[in-house]
Amino acid sequence: APAVVTAQSPTVLKMQTSWPSSDIFQDMAKQYVERVEAMSGGRLKIDLLPAGAVVGAFQVQDACHDGIIDAAHTVPVYWYGKHKAASLFGTGPVWGGSATNLLAWIHKGGGQEFYRELTQDILGLNVVGFFGFPMPAQPLGWFKKEIAGAGDVNGLKYRTVGLAADLMQAMGMRVTQLPGGEIVPAMERGVIDAFEFNNPTSDMRFGAQDVAKNYMLSSYHQASESFEFIFNKDRFERLDKDLQAILRYAVESASTANTALALDQYSADLQKLQKESGVKVVRTPSEVLNKQLEAWDKLIPQLEGDAFMKRVMDSQRAWTERTVFYQLMNDPDYKLAFNHYFPSKIAL
Amino acid sequence: MIRYIEFADRLSAWIGKAFAWSIVVMTFGVSYEVFVRYFLDNPTTWAFDITYMMYGALFMMGGAYTLSRDGHVRGDFIYRLWRPRTQATVELVLYFLFFFPGIIALILAGWKYASRSWRYAEVSVMSPAGIPIFQFKSIIVAAGILLLIQGIAQVFRCILCIRTGEWMRARDDVEETETALAKSVATDSLPHASEAVDVVTPMHHKNNGDRRG
Amino acid sequence: MSDPQVALLMLGSFLFVILLGFPIAFTLMAMGVGFGYYAYYDAERMRTIFDNRIFDLFVNQTYSVMANDVLTAVPLFLFMGYVVERANIVDRLFHTIFIAARRLPGSMAIAALITCALFATATGIVGAVVTLMGLLAFPAMLKARYDTSFASGVICAGGTLGILIPPSIMLIVYAATSGVSIVRLYAGALLPGLMLAGLYLVYVVIRAVLQPSVAPKPRDEDIGDVPIGKLMVMLATSFLPLAVLILSVLGAILFGLATPSEAAAIGALGGLVLAAAYGSLTWDRLRQSVYLTVRTSAMVCWLFVGSWTFSSVFSYLGGEGVITEFVTGLDLTPLQFLLLAQLIIFLLGWPLEWSEIIIIFVPIFLPLLPHFGIDPLFFGILIALNLQTSFLTPPMAMSAYYLKGIAPPHVQLVQIFKGCMPFLFLVFLSMILLYMFPQIAYFLPNLVYGQ
Ligand code: NA
Ligand code: NA
């Protein structure tokens, strides 16, 4: 290249997500990109690509490590085949805290350092990563028949991914592994009786309401997840310090924007599912949730067999015990207030 | 040179054919999965992973065998008009331009990719069965090395053809019996437009000698 | 030279190199790696000459082909095809249809088209259908002195119907990209798919009537005098068993009992049973089927390895950027936009495959749809029809390549392309019909799922 100083031309990063362009997660990734570009005054541009544009949805971490893409917008559960500890960053045991609480653990409770140790030291990956957007808990999913009690889940053929597969299996379900595109046809064919995906908006855009009419909300299988923003470490460290800071803190900024978008869109789509598609929206009975906790009890000792995972879970338990005690003691009963102003909306 | 070609042909064929049998395992394995799902209402947790691994291993390890029998499709609307000597000269150059760089890249990058997977004993994320996939990723390297060995044999074939004016065909193939059959069918074939028709039943078409003619 | 210009150079030199007759799979791989080396060149990472990200991309794409759950059906369907072929049913079958329909113009092409459409419907995978039908029906047509181009066109166009008529992988990918419900899309694509198959059939009959030399009627001495009773027995022993096998594979998918791979495995098992019933399941034949399966699978799948690497580098260089700028810069009516979009998709279908087109280019059009008031379901079905052409247009005419790969050596690519031409026009005709009568797409989804 000629030795002309091209101060005006922006640095362009290629970021691929694990989502199709139609998914609301892609819109959320866009919110991040907009913030980065605005904060950097146009010095930094992000070329945002959907899943499959360069590599498959599950391959973004490898691609980031190799530098085929500079950055990725994904979730750790997609690389849990490399180390089961990946699931502890969002889809592990639910100790009593929300996704917001777990995100706080990542920021202040030592999670970020555990994540760095796992990706860089244990797996030897050339990546840096940040977490943002504490997701609303993922629903138990879509069922052909409503789940009224703990007995109803026995023997159900159910589709999920990651550690949730182990969990649901421990609950007595028969977990079937299917790629995303096969879920709806598989439901139609009776290959599976039920499945979970992510949230009302993604599930609706995906066509879940065409193959099942019972939508069970609340579950402990993926209840504290956040987005993972990964960067190729060399590429990241080559950037000016201020641009590095922008990439990092825009994650925090996008987190709030994502939450607002999610609350607006998820709730609107949940109503749409009820009113326009005749979907029955039900809360998972506490009997089933208890069974899930018992299933976690069976899994946790197995997971603790790994020294690193034991350390992470010890840290999470200590964090939760202190912070959630404070939260639960401190929080007013929001349900009470909601029922006061919007009576008989929720029957519990 | 001839001994090397024969060695490579035999090696590629032996490995390709060994992996070819996974199609039978796939047939029965997948059928078993369907059976237990419908009749015992108890799907397996491993069938999905095993199926694509068998498929991937089958075609990757069959690549060199297919190359030795000239089974990879060519855009040959001009190529086929050339004399064997011209074909061999062009092909000799193209092997160095369009074959070895890609295959060597596949071996080296595949090594990096697979060894990383070995390091963390990677398993599939598709099921709770925890099926290992690091050995499957190593197939990339194995298939690349096999293609490299066969590619060298193909280069020797080109050199031989430039010397003798004739292509050296792959030996000891399953199609030996079929070649005889092909000839008998060809005599039955009907004249067709302006072309000589050597219509053969499908089992014969892959024969190296026929293609190189 | 700018990157998009390099992309165009890449495409241009590929067109030239293909003429030299080197195996296409390796040509695509090497050109992908070569141009990718330029595209991904980054001076700051160069410690050795191997520190280029193209190598990682290449391996990644290779692994994607290896772990592709959809392509697993390819060897299984091929194995079924080889087993059935070796059971000595096919010769009898075509002979029987040949005789049964000998009074009809283009009878064997009709039979081949119907079988193609049925197989395509069952598998949804073009490579498997074209190769399978190229192995089963193509030699039979040549034997019956059909014009090589005409017979090639029937197989390529008929086999390509697999990505259109549900269940189709292409529709699943479009659903994931656009957010249109997959079951609606399936229901919506069924009638347009059958309509296109119908147009093909009409064409075959008309062509055979107007130009009998392309699809000659059998001479009497070839067939002899076959009494109706004997014909019935022939149908029952050759046509019926295979029809049952094919229909049960098809039924298993359509009536929701199995995935295409599973149906293919059951079909292969059924083929083995059938071969045993015909007394032709010998060890030697099984061995041959197995070995031919591995060779043809390797041919088809290594082509995927090459084309996925090539296409991703082509996209990375921004070869399509020119096209994108062209669209956005214009002030268009909905019809003009639709025509332009379909034209671009048609043109992209020359060098690229449907997967790149749907994953990378369709998202460019999707946000424009509300602006022009076009329903994404309708748009998707138009694209599905349109992308039929991508398999038939050079340089990346996958259907033609599959057929070339398994056809007798004397069949030239030029002949195959020539044979595909009339079917390209029928695809355009079907798109015009769909545009004029959108009910063809909406009738079934509205019937099943309501408005
Ligand atoms: Na999920
Ligand atoms: Na094309």
On the question of pLDDT at C425 being above 80, the answer is yes
Spatial CA neighbour of C364 closest among C335, C405, C322: C322
Q: What is the mean pLDDT of chain A?
A: 88
Gap between the Cα atoms of C307 and C313, Å rounded: 10
> Do C301 and B65 make contact, defined as CB atoms within 8 angstroms?
no
> In Å, how far is A50's CA from the nearest CA of chain C?
8
Most A CBs within 10 Å, among C50, C174, C182, C448, to test the A interface: C182
Whether C445 shows a pLDDT value over 90: the answer reads no
- What is the Cα–Cα distance from C275 to C288, expressed in whole angstroms? 14
In eight-state DSSP terms, residue C357 is I
Look at B101 and C34 and tell me if their CB atoms are within 8 Å.
yes
Residue A81, classed as helix, strand or coil, is coil
What gap in Å lies between CA A64 and CA A238, rounded to an integer?
15
Contact between chains at C293 and B211 (C-beta distance less than 8 A):
no
pLDDT, tens digit (0-9, with 9 covering 90-100), for A81-98: 888 899 899 888 999 999
pLDDT tens figures, A125-150: 999 999 999 999 999 999 988 888 88
- CB contacts of C56 in chain A (<8 Å) are 62-63, 66-68
Segment C247-253 long-range contacts (CB within 8 Å, at least 24 positions apart): C247/C118, C249/C80, C249/C122, C250/C118, C250/C121, C250/C122, C253/C122, C253/C167
Over residues C49-67, the pLDDT tens digits come to 777 888 888 998 899 889 8
Which helix (H) or strand (E) covers residue C372, if one does?
helix C369-372
More confident residue, C18 or C271: C271
Round to whole Å and give the CA distance between C36 and B106. 14
Burial class for B196, CB neighbours closer than 10 Å (0-12, 13-18, 19+): exposed
Residues with Cβ within 8 Å of A232's Cβ and at least 6 positions away in sequence, in order, are A64, A65, A67, A69, A70, A71, A126, A127
Cα–Cα distance, A219 to A223 (Å, whole number): 7
Q: What is the nearest CA distance from C221 to chain B, expressed in angstroms?
A: 14
* A215 CA to centre of ligand 1 in angstroms: 14
Nearest residue on chain B to A125, alpha-carbon basis: B116
Q: According to the model, what pLDDT value does residue C99 have?
A: 72
Pick from A209-223, B75-89, C184-198: least confident: B75-89
Question: Does residue C190 contact residue C442 with C-beta atoms inside 8 Å?
Answer: no
pLDDT confidence of residue B181: 33
Contact status of B125 with chain A (Cβ, < 8 Å): yes
- pLDDT digits 0-9 by tens, A41-75: 989 999 898 887 788 788 899 899 988 899 999 99
Task: List the single residue in C58, C86, C290 with the smallest CB-CB distance to B20.
Answer: C290
User: What is the rounded average pLDDT for all residues in chain B?
Assistant: 76
pLDDT score at C413: 87
pLDDT in tens, C119-146: 666 555 566 668 767 877 888 788 878 9
The per-residue pLDDT for C410 is 87
Residues A19, A56 contacting (CB under 8 angstroms):
no
Mean pLDDT in chain C?
80
Pull the structure tokens for residue C172: 């699943």
Provide the number of CB pairs (under 8 Å) joining chain A to chain B: 46
Burial of B145 (0-12, 13-18, 19+ CB in 10 A): middle
- Rounded CA-CA distance C28/C55 in Å is 14
CA distance B200 to chain A (A): 40
Tokens of C55: 């190598």
Could you tell me the CA-to-CA distances from C218 to C84, C102, C115, C141, C235 in Å, in that order?
25, 7, 20, 11, 18
Residue C382 has pLDDT above 70, yes or no: yes
Give every CB contact of residue A219 below 8 A, 6+ residues apart in sequence. A137, A138, A139, A140, A141, A196, A284, A289, A292
* pLDDT of C325 above 60: yes
Residues 6+ apart with CB under 8 A from B206: B69, B71, B175, C292, C295, C296, C406
Candidates B41, B45, B133; nearest CB to A175: B45
pLDDT greater than 50 at residue B186: no
Q: So what's the pLDDT on residue B213?
A: 23
Residue given tokens 């990058």 in the structure block: B109
3-state helix, strand, coil in chain A (%, to 5): 55, 15, 35
| C162 pLDDT higher than 90 | no
3-state helix, strand, coil in chain C (%, to 5): 75, 0, 25
The pLDDT, as a whole number, for residue C219 is: 65
Nearest by CB: B199 against C54, C65, C143:
C143
Least CA distance to A168: which residue of chain B?
B128
What local confidence, expressed as pLDDT, does residue C321 receive? Answer: 61
* Among the bound ligands, the one closest to the CA of A87: 1
For residue A64, the model assigns a pLDDT of 93
Q: What is the pLDDT of residues A146-175, one digit of tens each?
A: 888 888 888 888 888 777 888 888 888 888
Residue C322 has pLDDT above 70, yes or no: no
Mean pLDDT of B159-173: 80
* Confidence band, pLDDT 50/70/90 cuts, at residue B185: very low
Output the DSSP codes for C127-182.
HHHHHHHHHHTHHHHHHTT--HHHHHHHHHHHHHGGGTSSS-HHHHHHHHHH---H
CA separation for the pair C313, C34 (Å, rounded):
10
Contacts of C448 (CB under 8 A, 6+ apart): C187
A253-291 pLDDT, tens digit each: 999 999 999 999 999 999 999 999 889 999 999 999 999
A109-118, B96-105, C91-100, C313-322, range with the lowest pLDDT: C91-100
Can you read off the two tokens belonging to residue A182? 């096969």
Provide, rounded to the nearest whole percent, the portion of chain C with pLDDT above 70: 79
If pLDDT is split at 50, 70 and 90, which confidence band does B194 have? very low
Element (H, E) at A231: strand A226-232
Residue C103 has pLDDT above 90, yes or no: no
How far does chain C reach from its first CA to its final CA, in angstroms?
Answer: 52
Task: Compute the distance between CA of residue C154 and CA of residue B64 in angstroms, rounded to an integer.
Answer: 32
SS (H, E, C) chain B: CHHHHHHHHHHHHHHHHHHHCHHHHHHHHHHHHHHHHHHCCCCCCCHHHHHHHHHHHHHHHCHHHHHHCCCCCECCCCHHHCCHHHHHHHHHHHHHHHHHHHHHHHHHHHHHHHHHHHHCCCECCCCCCCCECHHHHHHHHHHHHHHHHHHHHHHHHHHHHHHHCCCCCCCCCCCHHHHHHHHHHHHHCCCECCECCCCCCHHHCCCHHHHHC
**The pLDDT value given to residue C85:** 65
What pLDDT is attached to residue B197? 20
